[in-house]
Copies of this chain bind each other. A is one copy, B any other.
Amino acid sequence: MVDFIGVSRVRELLARRGTARFIEELAAEIEADFLRWDTFEKSPRHATHSSVGVIELMPASDGRLYAFKYVNGHPQNTQAGLLTVTAFGVLADVQTGYPLLLSELTLTTALRTAATSALAAQRMARRDSRVMALIGNGAQAEFQTIAFHHLLGIRELRLYDTDPAATDKLERNLAALDLPHLDVVRCASTAAAVAGADIVTTATADKRNATILTPEMIAPGMHLNAVGGDCPGKTELHRDILLRGDVRVVVEYEPQSRVEGEIQQLDPGYAVTELAAVLAGRAAGRAQPREVTVFDSVGFALEDFSALRYLRRLHQQERGAHAQIDLLPELADPKDLFGLLAAQPHTLRRTAGEAA
């Protein structure tokens, strides 16, 4: 039997833990794994593109555990009442190849993305950052807000989305959260939201080269947390922002980001720093206060590896519905797979008759 964490179970685990604490603990797990970067077998994800979206498989292994995530990206799904991004994943034992856990990862992807964004921003944003612009107020927005409020001390959030209903939804959810130390300001445009911000988070979903941020919006000292651009042809930043003399770009895993990140717009020789080097202190996330820093995030399999391991521990620790599914046969004799069918003599006799 394989452990199963469905949507109802992950909601239960989040309720027990609290969303902010969940994100904080998950960020610590992700950081610990990035600190042993070289122990992982890494590869760019496998993507299957269609005219309307992409389906990706993201594997990672540290030689003891293996994880993969299935994730789709379909920007037009919301028009049909469906999610843009859904995901699930599996954690397996490298020694036997047996799956240990199957889990929903739609909610969890939003949580791990926010955790990774906060982890990068802790090293890259100015320490006195208090104002964040949030461009794109869809499914990721609340998670990014909680992460940056809780882990970076953001006190003012400036909102903009081309879809006013998305901003309505975000305002409503944030009001219900009742965060006494967070001011939420609705803005009339991206430029208005970005003006005066210390951190700019972009989490938009168009699958075409979009230009959410243009050079004149960017002020010295800003940190850009570019979450939405994450596949070929899907970008959010005007390339001239990346070509500023004072810019520093951090990516998760360079071979994947060259294809999927904002830097897909640039020459392959353009210099970037990997997040693992920043977290390990081998490279600076920010060298001086007036630098513009960019976390060109696309999402890497290692983050899902960390998330699945963390979920498995919570699932086993916390009371509640500890579901399992019969994804694997259990056999007295492992060479006797066919024996599984032997309890069904009628069938086999019928088979014999047919074969005669």
Stretch at the interface among A124-132, A169-177, A231-239, A270-278: A169-177
A138–B337 Cα gap in the complex (Å)? Answer: 8
Looking at chain A's contact residues, the main secondary structure is mixed
- Whether, in the assembled complex, A333 has its beta carbon less than 8 Å from a beta carbon of chain B, the answer is yes
CA–CA, A106 to B141, complex, Å?
A: 40
Q: Does any Cβ of B come within 8 Å of A317's Cβ?
A: no
Among residues of B, the one whose C-beta sits closest to the C-beta of A45 is: B46
Is there a chain B Cβ closer than 8 Å to A197's Cβ?
no
Query: In the complex, how many residues of chain A place their beta carbon closer than 8 angstroms to a beta carbon of chain B?
Result: 105
Cβ of A7 under 8 Å from chain B = yes
B327, A6: Cβ atoms under 8 Å? yes
Interface residues of A in 276-302 (CB under 8 A from B): none
User: Are B326 and A7 closer than 8 Å at their CB atoms?
Assistant: yes
* A349 interface hit (Cβ, 8 Å): yes
> Is the pair B78, A335 in contact by a Cβ cutoff of 8 Å?
yes
Interface assignment of A34: CB less than 8 Å from any CB of chain B: no
Q: Which A residues between 298 and 333 are near B, CB-CB below 8 angstroms?
A: 325-329, 331, 333
Question: Which chain A residues have a beta carbon within 8 Å of chain B's beta carbons?
Answer: 4, 6-8, 11, 14-21, 41, 43, 46, 48, 50, 52-55, 57, 59, 61, 63, 66, 68, 70, 72-74, 77-78, 80-84, 86, 88, 90, 92, 94-99, 102, 104, 106-107, 110, 137-143, 146, 149-150, 163, 165-166, 169, 173, 176-182, 325-329, 331, 333-352, 354-356
Given A15-B341, A102-B102, A137-B335, 18 new contacts (CB under 8 A):
A11-B343, A18-B347, A41-B48, A46-B59, A50-B95, A70-B92, A70-B99, A72-B96, A77-B334, A106-B328, A106-B337, A110-B338, A143-B338, A176-B348, A177-B348, A177-B351, A177-B352, A179-B356
